[in-house]
Structure 1
């Protein structure tokens, strides 16, 4: 169980209802099962009390069964961290983008431990992985620019994490193409505004796509990005028109939005091919 966030607010009405629905998954595990819980999320941590199954926790503090420290981002080369379990500690370097990807490493390590692997075996397997992933996929764009394809889905948390990856890159200009985030219910304006403000601190240009993206654009301007560098468009085709005017050889273009926005059309329109 990775987190309890606002993504399903539109259908479930409150964060507490989302937590309750997710806890039912943990409660349904048999006593022969294993629940892997994110110790850094207070609502997930509480699910320990409803589990009949064995619990393995992961997180960024020593309270968790498997935890990480000294997390460093190395740009396009991936991340490194020190992985801990009981009295063991091992340095890991993996080709995943962004410091937030430490959570992915921790989840994988916890799953390996649940299956009886030793920490050394887990680290060896992690370091042997390729950089193939569903999120933050690198592609080549126009003029040799870099496209960061994160179109798999979007929440405020994952979008801010993707923006932080963009910030770590030694490129200019940084362009954030950000689409609607769906199913946020009553939190949708606040979530879009939070993303817009972070984008203003990271990107040189923001292209906001969709009906809700106006909140991203407004917030980006309010947080200091010049309005001449903020564009609001209705659809992916219009976004490509804007990008054709601002992309250069040194650009990095982050493309991010909810699955329903089909923003992979933008990546395809940019000619995104394997990096």
Structure 2
């Protein structure tokens, strides 16, 4: 695949090359990293002997928006709901998508679990990338705290970093913080139940 172009909240387009054929693909998945997901789906389709038309229709269907989805937030904001799970690579990919979008960028990042010996380093790397991308960083949980502390330590202004203990505190903060045009990324490991934040804001 080449010619990868992020279309913001519209998805991604790219060229897919296979045995001398070139196909132009547009998928509704968010973020350039989702091209890997699409290529895996195409490979399965080839093995199952589907036609290219069937494969492309499957990839471009709105229902293929698996993980990260955009939902309307309060006061004309947009929430990027990526609460299904979290690892350092998927956190980085979500922050890279946020970096491509217009508007004030808010990241609400929770603990990444089951990292073992890589736990501190993984959270620190996310903190460094968040510092480069976001205007306001909100962290939830004891491991999320490492993300926030790293961003502060490397120069992110303290008043733009909010280190919180739980989802309810994040909801209360966001309710008074969100402005029209904001883009809010919400992401953490499944056990953090960060969909509570998305649900509260999208219904507010």
TM-score bucket (shorter structure): over 0.9
Q: Partner residue of 1:122?
A: 55
Q: How does 1:207-226 map to 2 (within 5 A)?
A: 207-226=138-157
1:253 is matched with which residue: 177, 184, 193? 184
Q: Cα offset for 1:126?
A: 2.4
Let me know the Cα RMSD of the aligned residues.
Answer: 1.5
Q: Cα offset for 1:118?
A: 3.5
* Residue 98 of structure 2 corresponds to residue 166 of structure 1: yes
SS in 1 for 2:155: coil
Q: Cα offset for 1:120?
A: 4.4
Q: Is the 8 A contact 2:9 2:30 kept in 1?
A: yes
* Residue 109 of structure 2 corresponds to residue 178 of structure 1: yes
Question: Could you list the runs of 5+ residues in structure 2 that have no partner in the other structure?
Answer: none
Cα distance in 1, alignment partners of residues 3 and 153 from structure 2: 34
Q: Cα offset for 1:212?
A: 0.8
Q: Partner residue of 2:67?
A: 135
Q: Is the 8 A contact 2:70 2:80 kept in 1?
A: yes
Cα distance in 1, alignment partners of residues 203 and 39 from structure 2: 30
Q: Partner residue of 1:5?
A: none
Q: Partner residue of 2:11?
A: 78
Query: Larger Rg: 1 or 2?
Result: 1
* Residue 36 of structure 2 corresponds to residue 103 of structure 1: yes
Cα distance in 1, alignment partners of residues 53 and 195 from structure 2: 38
Question: Could you list the runs of 5+ residues in structure 1 that have no partner in the other structure?
Answer: 1-67
User: How far does the alpha carbon of each residue in 1:72-123 deviate from its partner, in whole angstroms, 9 at most, with x for none?
Assistant: 1010111011111111111101111100010011011000000012434422
Count residues with an aligned counterpart: 204
Q: Is the 8 A contact 1:137 1:149 kept in 2?
A: yes
Q: What TM-score, normalized by structure 1, do the two folds share?
A: 0.71
Cα distance in 2, alignment partners of residues 213 and 202 from structure 1: 17
Q: How does 1:7-26 map to 2 (within 5 A)?
A: none
Greater RCO between the two (CA within 8 Å, min separation 6)? 2
Q: Relative to 1, partners in 2 of residues 1:221 and 1:249: Cα closer, same or farther, differing over 3 Å?
A: same
2:86 is matched with which residue: 154, 162, 180? 154
Q: What TM-score, normalized by structure 2, do the two folds share?
A: 0.95
